[in-house]
Amino acid sequence: MGSAKAKRKQREQDHLLSKPIPLARFDLYALGTRKSIARVLCEELSWWSDANERIVGLVFRDTQDNDYGWQILARDRVGRFRSVKLEHSLRSQEYATVGLRDTIAVTLKDDDIDELGDQGDEPNEPVDLLRIPIDADPAKRHPYFVELADRPGRAPARAVAKEIGPWLAPSDPHFVQEFQFKQFDQRLWELYLWAAFRELGFDVTQLESPDFKCLAPGIEFTVEATTVAPSETGPLAVHPDPQTPEEMEAFLTGYMPIKFGSVLMSKLNKTDAQGRHYWEREETKDKPFVLALADFHKRAEQDRPGSMTFSHAALWPYLYGHRVEWELVDGQLKTQAIRNGTHTFGMKTIPSGFFDQPGAENVSAVLFSNAGTIAKFDRIGVVAGFGAAAHRYYRMGFKYDPDPNAVRGKPFHVDVASPEYSEGWSDELQIFHNPNAKIPLDHAWLSGLAQFYFKDDEEFSLIPDHHVWSSLTMLVRLIGEKADDDQEGFEDKSIIS
């Protein structure tokens, strides 16, 4: 056999050791890996791994020099995929792809994969979101953490948590304990935000207070995360549980603005031991400051969605102190902003217009999502290929309708595991810009999100076509022959928001 033929045959055998993987799967593996500058300098073209996914790699185009390269990642001592080998200045994508696959084969043959990714900067105690400390009582776990950790159908969410955990560096030493035992919703919201900011291209640092610093070339802002929780005392302790259109209107114009206002005003007025507000601290001074809000005040039940699926409609009128009235005139949508004045529920009344309150000019924007839930982590895991055996994940809800005369979202329903389905962490994020902000947040920094503005008594927005207003996810477990034959059927189901 000639040397050229032997070389070709060896390459064919070597290339059996690598395989292409979907971008969604690579994105999960590399969620904490990419640096913000790399997103500016490189265009990723294809993604690869060995058969067991112990090492992964990508082929890229250098956007500055218009040549090509490849990069290989391996897990470090705490389980994070880190860069271990790199080649650049190659003449074509095909040439770079061959080089990557050749190197994967050589790496598998010659290197100790268990030690290949070690970088020497790993923490002694990596964050493991799912491991219960040996001195803790498992019986006291938060019920939603039990759902995440123990239910077979939550395997996709557990796979996501496994990849995110080692990247976290929370300043709060009690983060994991609170996630598992006391403040599951609040900590899950922070995990969701970290993942969304990483997906949007920022280098994210977890601070002591506020929670995040986000960096990218020419961009820097800080974020404090907060949540709406159930009221245990006071006039809002008895939930109105709206059933009729009239009750829902009272809920959205009275109860929910007061709930949102209580949380936001608390953050606005909070000071540290030195008397400094969030925006006066060293990490935040002279930078845009954002409050990130989620509603967990009433969770989903077996046959009823959680309040977060519809309560967001109350946020815009409270923030801007106006409501929008609309009518269709000859098929054309006409809108008018009407000032609210106050919001009242029972014996409690608050002024409308958070952005008009004294001190609120220091808040650049309010970020909101109704998707920081286990269901989101499940769907991201399923799209990445980590769906649980004998389970199905169906999503239904409302997307943005680009029709200028639309008065509600466009309904959709989809099998999350279908090849055509895709989903990002930030698909449901909404950002409300403060018209009175001392340091505005540049809308270009968060392009791809639904962005809202209010100026001169008029509202306007920038909404991407993929934006999801709200949704439910149905988790179905197949049983018996139906599970074996992969047919539709279930023993139990859960509606999760």
Cβ-in-10-Å burial (0-12, 13-18, 19+) of 279 comes to buried
One domain, residues 80 and 226: no
| 202: pLDDT strictly greater than 90 | yes
Query: Is residue 496 one of the residues assigned to a domain?
Result: no
Average pLDDT, integer, range 130-137 = 92
Same domain, 97 and 150: no
Q: Is the pLDDT of residue 482 over 60?
A: no
Question: Based on the domain organization, do 145 and 96 belong to the same domain?
Answer: no
Which pLDDT value is given to residue 450? 95
How far from 397 is each of 282, 310, 386, 473, 494, CA to CA, in Å?
42, 11, 23, 9, 16
In a domain, 415, yes or no: yes
The answer on 309 and 218 residing in a single domain is yes
Same domain, 106 and 165: no
Asked if residue 491 is part of any domain, the answer here is: no
For residue 3, the tally of other CB atoms under 10 A from its CB is 7
Q: How would residue 235 be classed by pLDDT, with cut points 50, 70 and 90?
A: confident
Using only the alpha carbons of the chain, give its radius of gyration.
25
Residue 131 maps to a domain: no
Rounded to the nearest integer, the mean pLDDT of the chain is 90
Task: Answer left, alpha or beta for residue 190, where phi above 0 means left and psi between -120 and 50 means alpha.
Answer: alpha
- The yes-or-no verdict on residue 39 having pLDDT over 90 is no
Axis crossing angle, helix 143-150 with helix 374-383, rounded to the nearest 10: 20
**Stretch among 102-116, 126-140, 447-461 having the lowest mean pLDDT:** 447-461
Tokens of 420: 């055509």
pLDDT tens-digit profile of 149-196?
999 999 999 999 999 999 999 888 899 999 999 999 999 999 999 999
Give the three-class secondary structure for 469. Answer: strand
Q: State the pLDDT confidence band at 455, using cuts at 50, 70 and 90.
A: confident
Percent of the chain topping pLDDT 70: 94
User: Do 257 and 194 share a structural domain?
Assistant: yes
Q: Are residues 398 and 336 in the same domain?
A: yes
Per-residue confidence band for 384, with pLDDT thresholds at 50, 70 and 90: very high
Compute the half-sphere exposure of residue 321: CA atoms within 13 Å on the CB side of its CA.
Answer: 17
Closest CA to 28 of 7, 3, 1, 49: 49
Q: For residue 95, is it within any domain?
A: yes
Mean pLDDT of 242-261: 88
Domain extent for 42: 3-116
Q: What is the pLDDT of residues 312-322, one digit of tens each?
A: 889 999 999 98
Identify whether residues 282 and 233 lie together within a single domain.
yes
Indicate if 10 and 146 belong to the same structural domain. no
Q: What is the pLDDT of residues 57-93, one digit of tens each?
A: 999 999 999 999 999 999 999 999 999 999 999 999 9
Query: Cα separation of 120 and 423, whole Å?
Result: 34
Phi, psi of 261 (to 5 degrees): -65, -40
- What's the confidence (pLDDT) of residue 491? 46
Count other Cβ atoms within 10 Å, centred on residue 169: 13
Q: Looking at the structure, do residues 162 and 233 belong to the same domain, yes or no?
A: yes
Sheet holding 81-90, edge to edge: 18-20, 42-50, 55-62, 68-75, 81-90
Residue at 126 is within a domain: no
- Say what the pTM is: 0.93
125 domain-assigned: no
Residue at 483 is within a domain: no
Reported as a single tens digit per residue, the pLDDT across 334-380 is 777 889 899 998 889 999 999 999 999 999 999 999 999 999 999 99
Q: Do 318 and 214 belong to one domain?
A: yes
Tell whether the model's pLDDT for residue 488 goes beyond 50: no
Could you give the C-alpha distances from 391 to 249, 471, 486, 497, in angstroms and in order?
37, 19, 9, 17
Percent of the chain with pLDDT over 90: 72
Residue 447 has pLDDT above 60, yes or no: yes
- Average pLDDT of 264-277? 96
The pLDDT of residue 489 is above 60: no
pLDDT of amino acid 104: 97
Does residue 185 share a domain with residue 100? Answer: no
When pLDDT is cut at 50, 70 and 90, the band that residue 244 belongs to is confident
How many domains does the chain contain in total? Answer: 2
DSSP β-ladder status, 219-228 and 289-295: parallel
Instruction: Express each pLDDT in 410-445 by its tens digit.
Output: 999 999 999 999 999 999 999 999 999 999 999 888
Please give the pLDDT value at position 490.
Answer: 43
What average pLDDT does range 12-36 have in this prediction?
A: 94
